[in-house]
Amino acid sequence: MPPGVYKHHSHQGYQKGHTINLGRKFGPQSEEHKKKLREAKLKNPVRYWLGKKRPEVLNWLTPFEKGMIPWNKGKECLKTSGKNNWRWIEDRTKVKGYWSERNNPEYKQWVKKVKKRDKGQCKINNKDCSGYCIVHHIKGWKQYPELKYKINNGITLCQAHHPRKRAEEKRLIPFFQGLVPVSSE
């Protein structure tokens, strides 16, 4: 709606035919208008102090609050990041994470070979199969590092058949070994 004078109906809280200025932008103020604003400010000092610190408010504070010093002023902060952390490892080459192992080219090659051997399908192929296929180490690579990249130690399983817990993995080792054909690699 463009700015201007509009008529409002009685159902909007105005008398019938009442006009109101909508969206009118005021130009520069005259000196007379500025003088009236200044007088209004002096008549109602409460509005003048809005957003400003009033001197009488300082009297409301207790002597303790006036001269209060923060409890940690001058003390060194406890820093637990970077070299100050108790788990910091100075030689960063010794840091080996889970994802760095998974991004290893040898690991990726092992996954491809196992999936190729199993034709990219779950070895427990039944009606319960669902989800994408994952290559699973039959014997864990932390307990048996020498079997980490052996193709006979891998099996392709769908998400429904992939073991959820370590105890379940250990219990299923003989079953998985029976499903995997023994190859010379």
Per the structure block, which two tokens stand in for 49? 């102090």
- Poorest-confidence range of 12-21, 35-44, 67-76? 12-21
Rounded Cα gap, residues 173 and 26, in angstroms: 84
Q: At residue 111, does pLDDT exceed 80? A: yes
Q: Looking at the whole model, is its pTM more than 0.85?
A: no
Contact (CB, 8 A) for 5 and 22: yes
Rounded Cα gap, residues 83 and 30, in angstroms: 65
Give the model's confidence band at 113: pLDDT under 50 very low, under 70 low, under 90 confident, else very high: very high
Using a pLDDT cut of 90, give the percent of the chain over it: 17
Backbone CA torsion sign across 129, 134, 136, 142: negative
Rounded Cα gap, residues 118 and 124, in angstroms: 11
